[in-house]
Amino acid sequence: MRVAALAIVALGLHHEWTIGGVVGPLVGAGVAIVIGLGYKSLAAEAAERELLVKQLLETRDQLAQTERESGVLAERARLAREIHDTVAQGLSSIQLLLHAAERADPDAAGLEHVRLAREAAAANLAETRNFIRELAPAALVEQGMGAALRRLAETQWQSPEREVCVRVADALDLPMPVQTALLRIAQGAMANVVKHSEATQATISIERDHSDVRLTISDNGRGFDPEGVEAASARGFSDSFGLTATRERVEQLDGTLTVDSQLGAGTTVIVNLTLTPPVEAFALVQSANPRVILMDLQFGALESGAEVTRRIRALDAAPYVLILTNYDTDGDILGAVEAGASGYLLKDAPPHEVIAAVRAAAAGESVLAPVIAGRLLDRMRAPQVSLSKREIEVMELVAQGKSNAAIAGEMFVSQTTVKSHLVHIFSKLNVSSRTAAVSKARELGVLR
């Protein structure tokens, strides 16, 4: 406009003042302004388009990563169940049959081969149990649900600006598939809290009332429109895969998912599950009135042997319950004993041990398989440190001076998984560096 004004004045001074001399420069200035604004708008639109493309690419990568992680976790849980229900059960049956063969003809010519076959089956069953433990979430197996969530809160979710409160018991009497699903749902919900909510407070709670289980994750963040997000996701215009994955996971367990959120009013995610007890088994117990019941720990995704044990022991003139299972984690053992089981045996126990255990249970005595008793004693003697087999492998490689990338390559896992193992190891050993962890592990005898 200054240039236009100078042009008008110059024309007026050198020539006489005319309408054209005034309007012409003004029109030219206006056209220049319009062109400049148009160019600026085009530049801003191009920048926005570039940012949108970048966000779409990041969202695509994040979605692909989330899908891969979800698929891997689901497949690990499925493999653990399949291995337990097929390989482990088959090896247990083979051992029982070989025990029977040994007892049937103690003087048979091929008895030594039968004994070797039974010992080979026992060794393979022990290795199979290790596989099952490794496939289950390590944090749940080693610490329990409450401790696992608190560790995640301390290491990943809390910040100086955000307080995370976990109201969950360390030992939840729930089947491992249900615990795994609840842990993954909580992780997904808290990832959204950390990334999107701008919340200063978040709370995680799990409540159990007989067969009903409720997981609640709430925050005081900025909130969102759940219906709008799900509608956009259905049309492919949203990256809310986490919400969709959570809903699918809950539906697989025949549960319900409720998301209560409003803009500026925070968000509450509630998952309700109903554990279905084996009604026929209860009816049989009440009608047959047995003295001792042999109980497995898992019958399906929503049925827990420990919970059935608890209900049976609550009956009038309740029978004794003896656990006979292939699950041998500390959490399984303690959960069963706390539920009222009189004893705990593994399915590869020799027949005479099973018979003696049944008789002892019928007499009101407590029975533990020698390997189970030994593990509990070890836990009591050294409760401060209990590294998993996988964590010990990581520590051995750390002691060799290998980097996270080298460890990940040798163990065929991601660097993120290696870092997660190191976080757990540092916490268990109460150290803050790799050097200190190696020194502490050697001091405690974890490493040579």
Split at pLDDT 50, 70, 90, the class of 433 is confident
**Residue scoring higher pLDDT (66 or 176):** 176
Split at pLDDT 50, 70, 90, the class of 96 is confident
**Residue scoring higher pLDDT (331 or 358):** 358
pLDDT of residue 270: 93
Round to whole Å and give the CA distance between 401 and 410.
Answer: 13
CA 62 from centre of chain:
18
* pLDDT at 237 exceeding the cut of 80: no
**Burial of 198 per CB tally in 10 Å (0-12, 13-18, 19+):** middle
Q: Would 144-275 and 389-443 be classified into the same CATH topology?
A: no
Q: Are 157 and 202 in contact (CB under 8 A)?
A: yes
The residue-averaged pLDDT of 20-27 equals 60
| CATH number, domain 389-443, options 1.10.10.10, 3.40.50.720, 1.10.3720.10, 1.10.10.350 | 1.10.10.10
* pLDDT at 69 exceeding the cut of 60: no
As assigned by CATH, the class of the 279-381 domain is alpha beta
Split at pLDDT 50, 70, 90, the class of 383 is very low
Say which residues have a Cβ less than 8 Å from residue 78's Cβ, sequence separation at least 6.
none
Round to whole Å and give the CA distance between 174 and 30.
Answer: 74
- Parse the chain into domains and list their residue ranges: 2-53, 144-275, 279-381, 389-443
pLDDT of residue 400: 83
The residue-averaged pLDDT of 140-150 equals 73
In this prediction the pTM is: 0.49
| CATH number, domain 144-275, options 3.30.565.10, 3.30.750.24, 3.40.50.1100, 3.40.50.150 | 3.30.565.10
